[in-house]
């Protein structure tokens, strides 16, 4: 083992995740300028993200992408062109992703009668 590896701590502290706006709000609340700062304990101001890591990253990302595609399609009444544009995708990219993730736009599901829904 190298000298650098031996000098590293064996346990790293858990990071507390928050956005810049949350940090600014925290600073404002700690300034004591409002009664809200004194009413809220610090444990309510910051929350930890304690989500387990996925076992299969590719499968997890595919399921997230599939869910987003389905939500966009439902929002745009299964119009692939509009749904894709809302996600920054061309119709060709939308079709490719739908095929890869097995997202089907069938007349049974959408209530639309046959044909291309674009």
Domains contained in the chain, CATH given: 13-51 (no CATH), 57-110 (1.10.10.60)
Residue 114, pLDDT score: 40
**Looking at the chain, how many residues does it have?**
118
pLDDT beneath 70, residues of the chain: 1-29, 31-48, 107-118
Classify 28 in phi/psi space as left (phi over 0), alpha (psi -120 to 50) or beta.
alpha
Q: Tell me how crowded residue 33 is: count the other CB atoms within 10 A of its CB.
A: 9
Residue 37, pLDDT score: 46
pTM of the predicted model, to two decimals? 0.51
Of the candidates 29, 104, 31, the residue with the CA atom closest to the CA atom of residue 73: 104
Residue 66, pLDDT score: 97
Residue 89, pLDDT score: 97
């Amino acid at each position: 083992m190298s000298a650098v590896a031996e000098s590293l701590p064996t346990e790293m502290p858990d990071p507390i995740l928050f956005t810049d706006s949350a940090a600014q709000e925290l600073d404002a609340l700690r300034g004591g300028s409002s009664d809200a700062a004194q009413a809220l304990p610090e444990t309510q101001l910051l929350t930890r993200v304690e989500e387990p890591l996925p076992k299969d990253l590719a499968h997890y990302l595919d399921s997230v992408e599939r869910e987003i595609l389905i939500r966009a399609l439902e929002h745009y009444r299964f119009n692939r062109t509009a749904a894709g544009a809302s996600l920054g995708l061309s119709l060709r990219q939308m079709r490719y992703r739908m095929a890869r993730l097995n997202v089907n736009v069938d007349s049974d599901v959408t209530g639309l009668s046959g044909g291309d829904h674009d």
